Amino acid sequence: MERSTDWLRQAKRDLEKAQLDLEHGFYEWACFTAQQASEKAVKALYYSMNMEVRGRSLYKLLKTLSEMKGIEVDEELLHYARVLDRYYIEARYPNGFPEGYPAEFFDLKMAQEAVDAGRKILRFCEGLMGG
């Protein structure tokens, strides 16, 4: 059964949650949830093209699409993927830093950048899926 639409719907919902985290000052969670939304959107794109997908690195997933399918992924989008890749572990676990806990290391500007990056990656994937 083809489930790409389900993955894209959940990506959109995750991005809505990232926006709420941003608005309520949970900056580390806004960053992580934006990463998750983007990962689900990219995987939705893979599934819509009947491609197997493994891994969590947005950068690698987008580069692979570019190399395997000839999809043009510009440097700006790859930059956003790199930004979000950093938030997969650091935003959740204290051992992502030499000391302290994640909430101490994330701020409004970082969270806004993450949510904006997530929005752009989601739009890119949605556009290629015809939505």
Q: Could you say which residues of the chain have pLDDT below 70?
A: 131
Q: What is the DSSP letter of 33?
A: H
Beta carbons within 8 Å of 22's beta carbon, 6+ residues apart: 30, 108, 111, 112, 115
Q: How many helices (H) and strands (E) does the chain have?
A: 6, 0
pTM for the model: 0.95
Q: What is the pLDDT of residue 31?
A: 98
| Distances from the Cα of 65 to the Cα of 23, 33, 70, 86, angstroms | 33, 23, 7, 20
Q: Which amino acid is at 123?
A: R
Q: What is the pLDDT of residue 1?
A: 78
Q: What is the pLDDT of residue 21?
A: 98
Residue 50: give the domain boundaries.
Answer: 4-128
**CATH number for the domain that contains residue 42:** 1.20.120.330
Q: What is the DSSP letter of 129?
A: T
Question: What is the per-residue pLDDT across 28-54, written as a single tens digit (0 to 9) for each?
Answer: 999 999 999 999 999 999 999 999 889
Q: How many domains does the chain have?
A: 1
Q: How many residues does the chain have?
A: 131
Q: What is the pLDDT of residue 131?
A: 65
Please report how the helices 58-69 and 75-85 are oriented relative to each other, as an axis angle in degrees rounded to 10: 150
Dihedral over Cα of 43, 45, 48, 52: its sign: negative
